[in-house]
Amino acid sequence: MLLYMLAAVTSAGGLSMRIAYLTNQYPAPSHTFIRREILALEKRGHSLFRYAIRPFPGVLGDADDIVEREKTSYLLRQGIGGSLAACISVLLHHPAGIGRAIKLAFRLGTAPGARLSRHVAYLAEAMILSKWCGEQDIDHLHVHFGTNPAAVAALAHAISGVPFSFTVHGPEEFDRPLTIGLGLKARAASFVIGVSSFGRSQLMRWTRTEDWHKLHVVRCGLDERYHREPTEQLPDTRRLVCVARLGEQKGHLLLLQAAARVKREGVSFKLILAGNGPLRAEIEREVKRLSLVDVVDLIGTVDQDRVQEEIAASRAMVLASFAEGLPVVLMESMALARPVISTYVAGIPELVQPENGWLVPAGDVEALAAAMKAALTSDTTRLSTMGQLARQHVLARHDISQSAAQIEELIIRAGESRSADVSTAASLSLQANG
């Protein structure tokens, strides 16, 4: 009942829950949705602690991310002395918990395709995390991504009992669910979040039916500025934008093939590619091979303000993904009253409807080119109507204040359930001893 009482007091303006967030890298340019979630929970009166395994290795160009970095503690920045001291302290205070964690690490590390040595390292990280959670009196630990940070959190839970939950985005978790022990992690967690109904359905594939009650949908949300800022008029220029990491799952190479088709059909336009990643050199070569140098601009990683500017200057957002979770950039584009072009994968059809955008089969270059041509040549009245419908749809379903309230409620309910279990166990023990 402790968490329930704390939250009740919070709503009256008093005490708050102490919630820690853990992810692999934080902050990062592609993780604005995590930052929004943290800030929204703080706005609800809770104390938030930022933990990450390691810092983002690149340059942070967003001022808000730079502020967040100063607030974040990194497990792998403790040094040998600090890490060893933390491990010794946890060994002395939680010997039984260490035994439980070793068993769990062995189970996770011997799964098909997993590496035991890697999970030994996760165990050491979990010992540091357990110490931090104890020192800062953390009520609940929430993790983004069901990969290695969820393993570290599950091991920390085994050590110290700190309750944890995690959000699964996909597609990485669903590409190798057995290797990462997705079902084992869900079994240990208080609850698990999918960012779409599709995501929850995939979680149901890899968890026991008796754990399905733990699975919930909490959509990533947009913050207040998307509600209050006026939308800009559609530009007359024929321009599309794609904001995405330059990786294999985002379909950039197929997008370039579609752009080449549109160009051959006599349509003059610009395609802006914002983002960086491992495929940049190959994309640059393909731009030259397809004679798209006059069409495509690669502008690299940009901050959130620049993202909004690029979207506002375009007729539509295009994302040719082969695999996804539910792209936040599509939400941002729709909130700025721009229709989107994307693919029938994962949770995207839950967001993009025929009246607010174009959906095409993933991998179909002809269908993608046709949708791009339609967006480029449609009259602005039609596109403006689609954009306004897109804005109404996304703001009704993807509000960060609503998402934070859902997470808060899930944490409270999990705390109540644990308290009830403890009370029942104590009662049974008294009866047995009596």
Tell me if 301 sits within 8 A of 58, measured CB to CB: yes
How do the domains of the chain map onto residue ranges?
Answer: 2-221+399-433, 225-397
Chain CA centroid to CA 392, Å: 23
Give every CB contact of residue 45 below 8 A, 6+ residues apart in sequence: 10, 11, 13, 16
pLDDT at 420: 62
Beta strand residue intervals within 187-325, DSSP E: 191-194, 215-217, 239-243, 270-274, 296-300, 316-318
Q: What fold, for 2-221+399-433?
A: Rossmann fold (3.40.50)
- pLDDT per residue over 64-73, tens digit each? 999 999 999 9
pTM of the predicted model as reported, rounded to 2 decimal places: 0.91
CA distance 374 to 376: 5
DSSP readout, 329-360?
A: HHHHHHHTT--EEEES-TTHHHH--TTTEEEE
DSSP readout, 392-425?
A: HHHHHH-BHHHHHHHHHHHHHHHHHHHHHHHHHH
pLDDT at 28: 93
pLDDT at 8: 45
Q: What fold, for 225-397?
A: Rossmann fold (3.40.50)
Per DSSP, 303 falls in state: -
Beta strand residue intervals within 89-233, DSSP E: 140-144, 164-168, 191-194, 215-217
- pLDDT per residue over 333-375, tens digit each? 999 999 999 999 999 999 999 999 999 999 999 999 999 999 9
- Nearest residue to 47 via CA among 156, 138, 129, 153: 138
Could you give phi then psi for residue 66, rounded to 5 degrees? -65, -40
Burial of 218 (0-12, 13-18, 19+ CB in 10 A): buried
pLDDT at 214: 98
pLDDT at 229: 76
291: left (phi over 0), alpha (psi -120 to 50) or beta: left
Could you give phi then psi for residue 353, rounded to 5 degrees? -115, 160
2-221+399-433 and 225-397 share one fold: yes
**What are the residues facing 165 on neighbouring strands?**
142, 191
Q: Residue ranges of the chain with pLDDT lower than 70? A: 1-15, 419-434
